[in-house]
Amino acid sequence: MTLRDTKVTLSHGGGGKAMRDLISEVFTCAFEPESKEDQARLMHDALLQPGAQLAFTTDSYVVTPVEFPGGDIGKIAVCGTVNDLAVGGAKPLWLSAAFIIEEGTDIALLRRIVASMKAEADKAGVKIVTGDTKVVGRGSADQVFITTSGVGVIPADRNLRADNIQPGDVAIVNGVLGDHGATILAARGDMMLTSDLKSDCAALGHLMEATCNAVPVRACRDATRGGIASALNEMAEAAGCAIEIIEEALPLRAEVKGTCEILGLDPLYLANEGTLVLFVAEEHAEAALAAMQSVDTGKEARIIGRAKAGNPLVTMRTAFGGSRIVDMLVGEQLPRIC
């Protein structure tokens, strides 16, 4: 152990011994890459299957606060990228992780974030195989920003696309809505809100594998920024059909409803980090539910609506028997939520 500093300094990004010590004692000792070359060299049996496709995605994470009930910026960085691959039908395999670190950040905080990333990657069955670190001066960042990229393999017999959705198809979510957005809002303390809510932050690769192996899934989206409303609008537009959801079927915790009522927010637009919506043909709906409910991240799975012939519009049948349009999110309900 040679790293004696408790705070990150500019020398930790200078390319010398201090940077080497930071990388080896905080990052590579946790992620355990197979080599320390500048590039990861990847091979997997799934790549040899005829018709298999590579899936590749990237995303950046700037959530504040960086630690919150149910997760932290490292856990979100792993889960978010795994989920971007999984909702396309890919089996997530490898991740890269790049860190922008503000001078003065506690090294103990970095260690907790890295440990969280390693634990979530192990749970999701992916490896963090390469990465980068940069240190910027005080005020040039907010503790730590992370960019993760992911690579996975889509089997030849899977084709999940929103334009596959047909009128009559059933919409299913795997869990409750709005927990992440409401948790971040409370964690910031600006609104003097207190609750026992935790973020739903979770990797959904195993859930998607179980579901895709059980039934033909037409299309899937994770309901992150913009919430379930924006995800459904994107799918309706791509498919060229209407989608109707049922208010009484939407899974919402009382705490989320209460937070939204106090602040005048709509829970359909609150962010989620472990919730997806998928469409299957009606005859496969019960088998899809059973497959999802067999996995921890799908125990709350339920049908929330269906696709219908008509203009690409999302509507909600209300508890009072009426109907209202559920449009795309306009503006930003809450910035820096992931």
Determine the pLDDT at residue 276.
98
What does the pLDDT read at residue 35?
83
Question: If you write DSSP's letter for every residue of 50-103 in order, what string do you get?
Answer: TT-EEEEEEEEE--SSSEETTEEHHHHHHHHHHHHHHTTT-EEEEEEEEEEEET
Among 250, 251, 89, 285, CA closest to 169: 285
Tokens of 248: 């009484």
pLDDT of residue 299: 96
Put simply, whether the predicted model's pTM sits higher than 0.85 gets the answer: yes
Q: How do residues 191-239 score in pLDDT, each as one tens digit?
A: 677 778 999 999 999 999 999 999 999 999 999 999 999 999 999 999 9
Low-confidence ranges of the chain (pLDDT < 70): 1, 191
Residue 297 backbone phi and psi in degrees, to 5: -75, 0
179 CB neighbour count, 10 Å cutoff? 28
Q: How many helices (H) and strands (E) does the chain have?
A: 9, 13
The pLDDT value recorded for residue 122 is: 98
The reported pLDDT for the residue numbered 1 is: 67
